[in-house]
Structure 1
Amino acid sequence: MDQKLTSLTAVVERSDARLRSPEAEVQIWPTGFPILDESIGGGMRAGALNVLAGPQGQGKSTMALQMCRNAAAAGCSAVMFSFELEAEVLLQRLISLEAGLMFGTSAPPISQIREAFDGKGGVGGLPERLLETAGSMGLDALMSIGKYSDRLVIHRSTSAHTDMAAINENAKEVYADTGQPPLIVVDYLQKVKPFDRTMSEEQQITLITQQLKDLAIDFASPVLALSSADRDGLNPGQRMRARHLKGSTALAYEPDIVMIMNTKADIVNRDALVYDINGLERMREWTVVTLEKNRQGATGLDIEFRKKFMQGRFDIDGSIVSERLVEERLDN
């Protein structure tokens, strides 16, 4: 990061030179969800900190992994610092996700993919066992992943060892190996090892949030940080909002984009269901992503995506929520 004084004249000259170069366009990493990309200016931008949050079980890790996959499939590089799941588990989800994208509802569920990794399904290596447990669709999905697998890197992270210095060094290594700045995903922010454990939890999260923003700027990369809720946000009678994030002051100020996930059935106004007794159950199949902060466009947009969790993914074709949503979650 350039920390020296720069005159406005120098900035004009530098911008002019950049725009005249073959790499004139600002680099953007697509999320792969068309309506979301359209809403945030084409995708996640270089130097931007993006936060994805939601109550437990919303599919934050699922959506983040799918975004990593989509960025890598589009020719970008990506690195996921996974504090939650082992690399093999993420690979299982990717194979299931890929099969779902390729073959739709007929694709094998993630449970069948897992059987191959558990050593079931005859003999041989992964291709042979996938063919046995998940059929040709599972094998085709593995082959498809091979087209971008060199650009998608997993780091098994732990709260005991993975601090911001480790994230910085490993992201630098991915940059060197792939020849391009990577999308940096942290799953999740509250598990990054703090620099100083004598700090309060809020101070630790504030510092890590600021450091993630600096990391995005230093690498000219987007950072996607997953975030958990405070106690109020975990209350079953509460619709999660940005104010419910741990370290909420920093998480409201530092990020360029804040996305909050909630199950649609939990936050829809019950007036919309007066004449539709089965509507509530159908809405449990949908997640609403609310753009609570968006420096690239409109805020307050509520976008719904259908859950395809048996295949470890979301349907990429989302839409703006048409029903009226409540400010606070209602009890069933």
Structure 2
Amino acid sequence: MSELYSIPVEQAVLSSLMDHEQGSGDYIEQLTESDFYATRHQVIFHHIKNQYSKGEAHDSLVIWEMIRRNAQDAQHCTEEYFLELTSTIARFGLLGTHVKKLKDLAVRRKIQDLSKTITTIANDTESYTSETAIEKVQALAAGLDGKVTQNETCSVGDVSKDVLESILDRHQKIHAGIEVKVGVKTGFTELDNKLDRIDRTDLVIIGARPSMGKTTLAQNIMLDLAVNQGEVVLFMSGEMSKEQIMERMISGVGQISLKKVRSALFDEADAGCIYQAVKTIQQCPIFINDKASPSLADIRREARKVKQKTGGRLNAIVVDYLQIMTPPEKSGNKVQEIGDISWGLKKIAKDFECPVIALSQLNRSLENRQDKRPVMSDIRESGAIEQDADIIMFIYRDEVYNKSSKDMGVAEIIIGKARNGSTGTVRLATDLSKASFSDLSPEYYSHMEGL
């Protein structure tokens, strides 16, 4: 078996970095101490990188002086060895090749170490469940590509040119009657007017107390995305089974009572509605996973599977609901756990470049207020969610609390946060018996204006 390190390559890299201080910065930024196998080489590179980070010289004389002053470092790297190293003539033109080889060997060593760690995790049945073991292994494996990922710093001049080109391109296409997709829509006219659009990297939170219809609203948005916008959607349902979800979808699309669908007590006309609804749904690019208490790792895995099945397409992920998800690490601190989940969902949205729409339960304390319309602080363990989310919407139906409400069949969608849109309240018609939200009729607005 070949050795997963090369002392000559490590020596060539270090010698080049010290001999050619000018022009070596990009390579220094790519490397870490662990990329070097020999401890004395790790010591030398530590001081090279430290000097570079401070913007100070890092030639061989300076680096040796730094090592000499530290008794522990001097034990690992003697003066005799350092003189031998610096007498090595390394060609700067080959530095890129040597760095690539160094990184490759380092990654292979990490894989070897990870295999040992995986064995330890697999055998530790007390500290890890099978689910948390998978998440731990996936997290460890995520850092094995050997690349230093960083967002490039750009001048505003460069960015402005790109943005202007994009704006002008969209402008021309719009005037030419060409459809331009820059985000996704909810499918509700007034709501979309407020939000403008949901961007491809947005985390959207829909919060409500039980019986307000948050799952129904999410499913309505999901169906509009698939049926009317041609988007691919992954629905992670931690609460309902695939069959329950499908019954609701049939009820909503077919506009037939959910009770009739569930009981199978329907007449011939209803049967026709059910058949047509199923026919429509069968054409929808919607994928459903009903694993109880899904984890972030589960969502990532299923998202990758959907992209494989659809030729790389995934346009939205719906999660029902946030508080029953399995956190990456169970700390016993619910606020911390929910924070880890919300940040993880935001990262999934960015990594997969598709919005994540997550449902959220609200605190019971709002039931004690005279005005029971939700506010931001009503989100359970709300701090991190408020920060991570791009859009936060609440559902309020007055009829739930007031049986003689003048707003029977009307839901208020309260936009508490819209990073790129407008906050405020939008009203939708609702019929939860048919699993439906819809735009209100013009007659409703005419009536409201006359009051």
User: Matched residue of 2:366: which SS?
Assistant: helix
Contact 2:200/2:315 (CA < 8 Å) preserved in 1? no
Unpaired runs of 5+ residues, structure 2, are: 1-147
Q: Report matched runs for 1:164-313 at 5 Å.
A: 164-178=296-310, 179-235=312-368, 237=370, 238-265=372-399, 280-299=404-423, 301-313=424-436
Equivalent pairs counted in the alignment come to 288
Query: Which letter does structure 1 place at the counterpart of 2:308?
Result: A
Q: Which amino acid aligns with 2:243?
A: E
TM-score normalized by the length of structure 2: 0.58
Partner-residue secondary structure (3-state), 2:416: strand
Alpha carbons 2:398, 2:405 under 8 Å: kept: no
Tell me how far 1:6 sits from its aligned partner. 2.9
Residue 291 (structure 2) aligned to one of 142, 157, 173: 157
Q: Which has the higher helix share?
A: 2
Q: 2:279 matched to which residue of 1?
A: 143
What is the alpha-carbon root mean square deviation over aligned residues?
Answer: 3.1
Q: Counterpart of 1:7?
A: 154
CA distances 1:81-140 after superposition (whole Å, capped 9, x unpaired): 11111111111111111112xxxxxxx311222234xxx78xxxxxxxxx8583212211
Counterpart in the other structure of 2:111: none
**Contact 1:55/1:233, CA 8 A, preserved across alignment:** no
What amino acid maps onto 1:252 in structure 2? E
State the distance in 2 between where 1:224 and 1:197 align: 23
Structure 1 residues 11-62: Cα deviation after superposition (integer angstroms, max 9, x where no partner) = 4566577676999955322211111111111x32200111100111100000
- Mapped to 2, the partners of 1:2 and 1:17 lie a distance apart of 27
- Residues in 2 aligned to 1:55 and 1:87: alpha-carbon distance in whole angstroms: 23
Aligned partners of 1:166 and 1:234: how far apart in 2? 34
Aligned residues with identical type, % of pairs: 24
In structure 1, stretches of 5+ residues that fail to align are: 101-107, 122-130, 269-277, 324-332
**CA displacement 1:191-250 (0-9 Å, x = unmatched):** 110111124000011111111111111111111111111242354754321111112111
Q: Comparing 303-312 with 51-60, which one deviates more in the overlay?
A: 303-312
Say which of 180, 183, 186 aligns to 1:31: 186
Q: Provide the residue aligned with 2:12 in structure 1.
A: none
CA distance in 2, matches of 1:288, 1:249: 24
2:239 maps to 1:84? yes
Larger Rg: 2
Cα gap change, 1:3 to 1:17, in 2 (>3 Å): farther
One of 54, 65, 73 as aligned partner of 2:208:
54
Find the aligned partners of 2:425 and 2:400 in 1 and give their Cα distance: 14
2:248 aligned partner: 93
User: 3-state SS of the aligned residue for 1:283?
Assistant: coil
For residue 224 of structure 1, give the secondary structure of its aligned residue in structure 2: strand
Moved more, 3-12 or 81-90: 3-12
Distance across 1 between alignment mates of 2:304 and 2:448: 43
**Is the 1:110–1:310 Cα contact (8 Å) retained in structure 2?**
yes
**What displacement does 1:183 show?**
0.7
Distance 1:313 1:209, change over 3 A: same
- Structure 2 partner of 1:314: 437
How far apart are residue 252 of structure 1 and its match?
1.6
CA contact (8 A) 1:49 1:256 kept: yes
Letter in 2 for 1:250: A
Aligned mate of 1:114, from 246, 253, 262: 262
Which AA in structure 2 matches 1:171? A
Partner of residue 63 from structure 1, selected from 217, 233, 237: 217
Which of the pair has the greater relative contact order for Cα pairs under 8 Å at 6+ separation?
Answer: 1
Deviation of 1:79 after TM superposition, in Å, equals 0.9
CA distance in 1, matches of 2:214, 2:390: 18
Question: Is residue 331–residue 337 contact of structure 2 (8 Å, CA) maintained in 1?
Answer: no
Change over 3 Å in CA distance of 1:266–1:50 after alignment to 2 = same
